[in-house]
A and B are shown apart, each in its own frame.
Chain A
Amino acid sequence: MAAHTQPGRPNQLFRNLNSKIASIPMMLTAVVIFLGGTIWTVVYSFTNSKLLPRLSFVGLEQYERLWDTPRWIVSIQNLATYGCLSLIFSLTIGFLLAALMDQKIRFENTFRTIFLYPFALSFIVTGLVWQWILNPEFGVQSVIRSLGWTSFAFDPLYNSDIVIYGILIAALWQGTGLVMCLMLAGLRGIDEDIWKAARVDGIPMWKTYLFIIIPMMRPVFVTTLVIIASGIVRIYDLVVAQTSGGPGIASDVPAKYVYDYMFFAQNLGQGFAASTMMLLAVAIIIVPWAYLEFGGRKRG
């Protein structure tokens, strides 16, 4: 073959040529879109691009303006509240469900199917269903009032103080099935002998979970945490469908802020700056994890 024209080492470029040709889509995606696109956005976040991207640098001006915008502050607060609660609840509920499922129960497949089906549905469908269920005129609130508790009030979609909890309920409904599945896989991966040893030692079940099983499942928890967290930062469709960011801007989130500024407000610079902040948030989650996960593996 062509590689053998030179005596000694074959030309490096032509080694595995087919493999390299086959990998072109991957290389293009990785370098042009993921790496190039990200750098492009970060660079243009330092410009005052309005309707069209222009390379006129204004330093940190866009960021200063961003953090002076009340709507952005609301988005960030919403994301923080929603993110923390979502992490806590989905990990707790997911683990509890998985632990219950792990009790050698009957109908395990049925329960699993029920817990996981919302995960197959889109956020749009999820948001619209819960918009309907939480509708104050016809939904949960009115049903409970009609049962006799007339002062009962739960209308998160119309009350800006609690609207984010309405979104949380819907998000948990959609996503905890996945967490349960990951946790269950983790529980099933634990050596049967550990349970036997704990029984011989006379350790009650809840203590076995708390002091032995959960510490053993640390990698599963970390992976799940990273998956949930990177999903939280992206939350967009659910808010659009359930509340459209309302009432007012009360349920706005960063992803929606970015979209609106890029495609409606014709203020690209703001959109780029806001999306760079989202990138930063993800980096804060991913970098330590990747360091622990892959840095540790090399040493081990």
Chain B
Amino acid sequence: MDKSLTMPISGAAISGPAGSRLEAGPQGKRPRKVLSSRNVIVYGALGLAALYYLLPLYVMVVTSLKGMPEIRLGNIFSPPMEITFEPWVKAWAQACTGLNCDGLSRGFWNSVRITVPSVIVSIAIASVNGYALANWRFKGSEIFFTILIVGAFIPYQVMIYPIVIVLREMGLYGTLYGLILVHSIFGMPIQTLLFRNYFVSLPEELFKAARIDGAGFWQIYLRIMLPMSLPIFVVSMILQTTGIWNDFLFGVVFTRPDTYPMTVQLNNIVNSVQGVKEYNVNMAATLLTGAVPLIVYFVSGRLFVRGIAAGAVKG
């Protein structure tokens, strides 16, 4: 009790005017208004922009939860007066494309069957390629790599028809295997670049030490490089999963209606000319299709950013 009384007094004596070298006038931090014009401009502009970016997501969600009568009456921005999940059920299980009326679920499972093997195959190939290019260069390896990177900029339309012919010759045209192959091919430039740059950034001494210890090509890859490259595998998986899931062109060219991926089926559902347009079902279907990449994006966070930066800046 005594101490608590004396403490403030002694504190005041130390910092009091007698011992202080401070003069009247400004000291310490410059006072800042929370509502300074700078803050208003910066946060105002960012807030407005954020609104523009969030609006479509909001509209999608709101529309998908309304009944059709409410949509016809109200405006698209108003929240639903009566929440219904029927559009979601219908989009998933009943929406029609052509003669099939079993909803988007078919496209969803097709997309899963396309995406999972494509991601695995393309990453397996690209990581080995990148490793060979980074640590085991041979005469001509850089030339192939350059062609690969330049190829990434060639419009797909230029190469589609020759691929159709090649796949037809191999008997893979119209099958999921064919599409998986196509995804592995077109994922190769960016993925190889990603892995090559990553392996180049690892200390070369590590590789040299392993060679002196007598390890060979595959041993070094499996025992030393793989365990060290978990982050880049995750980044690459994120990129490939969203990229392949979102693909439309290859899906529409290389598959048949019963094996259409989700994006193609979605487009057919929404843009079909027959029947009454059910906007709520359409938006539920759109959200369902966007859900997978969105979940990947929100879960992966900064890794996604790292992936696009690594893939884009050097690409």
Seen from chain A, the residues whose Cβ lies within 8 Å of a Cβ on chain B are 12, 15-16, 18-20, 22-23, 25-27, 29-38, 40-42, 44, 53, 96-97, 100-101, 103, 105, 109, 111-126, 128-133, 135, 138-140, 142-143, 146, 173, 177-178, 181-182, 185, 220, 223, 226-227, 230, 233-234, 236-237, 240-241, 244, 254-255, 258-259, 262-263, 268, 271-272, 274-276, 278-279, 282, 285-286, 290
**Residues from chain B with Cβ under 8 Å of A113 in the complex:** 298, 301
Interface size class of B (residues with CB under 8 A): 35 or more
The residue of chain B having its C-beta at the shortest distance from the C-beta of A28 within the complex is B185
**Residues from chain B with Cβ under 8 Å of A38 in the complex:** 151, 154, 158-159
A59 to B250, CA, bound (A): 30
**Residues from chain A with Cβ under 8 Å of B71 in the complex:** 138
A229 to B302, CA, bound (A): 25
**Residues from chain B with Cβ under 8 Å of A115 in the complex:** 49-50, 53
Q: Most chain-A CB neighbours within 10 Å: which of B49, B72, B157, B293?
A: B157
Contact, CB under 8 Å: A30 / B315? no
Take A18-B217, A38-B158 as given contacts and tell me if A173 and B77 are in contact as well, using a CB distance cutoff of 8 Å. Answer: no
The residue of chain A having its C-beta at the shortest distance from the C-beta of B273 within the complex is A244
A270 to B185, CA, bound (A): 26
Is B290 in contact with chain A by the CB < 8 A criterion?
A: yes
**Residues from chain B with Cβ under 8 Å of A275 in the complex:** 155, 157-158
Q: Which of B14-22, B95-103, B201-209, B240-248 contacts A (4 or more CB under 8 A)?
A: B240-248
Q: Which of B1-9, B80-88, B139-147 contacts A (4 or more CB under 8 A)?
A: B139-147
Residue in A31, A40, A118, A258 whose CB lies within 8 Å of B56? A118
Contact, CB under 8 Å: A40 / B75? no
Take A263-B253, A275-B157 as given contacts and tell me if A22 and B56 are in contact as well, using a CB distance cutoff of 8 Å. Answer: no
7 closest cross-chain pairs (CB), A and B: A34-B151, A122-B246, A19-B136, A18-B217, A120-B297, A37-B162, A37-B159
Main SS of the interface on chain A?
Answer: helix
Can you pick out 8 interface pairs between chain A and chain B where the beta carbons lie within 8 Å of each other?
A19-B132, A25-B188, A27-B144, A30-B145, A32-B166, A40-B161, A129-B59, A143-B75
Per-residue CB contact flags for chain B residues 281-315 toward chain A (1 = under 8 Å, else 0) read: 01100100110011011100110110011001101
Is B76 in contact with chain A by the CB < 8 A criterion?
A: yes
Is B112 in contact with chain A by the CB < 8 A criterion?
A: no
A178 to B45, CA, bound (A): 18
Is B279 in contact with chain A by the CB < 8 A criterion?
A: yes
A129 to B287, CA, bound (A): 9
Contact, CB under 8 Å: B60 / A129? yes
Q: Which of B24-32, B172-180, B264-272 contacts A (4 or more CB under 8 A)?
A: B264-272
Closest Cβ–Cβ distance, residue B104 to chain A (whole Å)? 12
A241 to B133, CA, bound (A): 39
Q: A35-B151, A240-B267 are in contact. List 18 more A-B contacts (CB 8 A).
A: A23-B133, A25-B188, A26-B129, A26-B132, A30-B148, A31-B144, A37-B158, A41-B162, A124-B248, A124-B267, A129-B59, A132-B279, A138-B71, A138-B279, A178-B312, A227-B315, A236-B248, A263-B253
Contact, CB under 8 Å: B153 / A230? yes
Is B55 in contact with chain A by the CB < 8 A criterion?
A: yes
**Residues from chain A with Cβ under 8 Å of B185 in the complex:** 29, 33
A285 to B153, CA, bound (A): 10
Contact, CB under 8 Å: A34 / B161? no
Contact, CB under 8 Å: B50 / A117? no
Closest Cβ–Cβ distance, residue A208 to chain B (whole Å)? 15
A35 to B143, CA, bound (A): 12
Closest Cβ–Cβ distance, residue B185 to chain A (whole Å)? 5
A226 to B165, CA, bound (A): 31
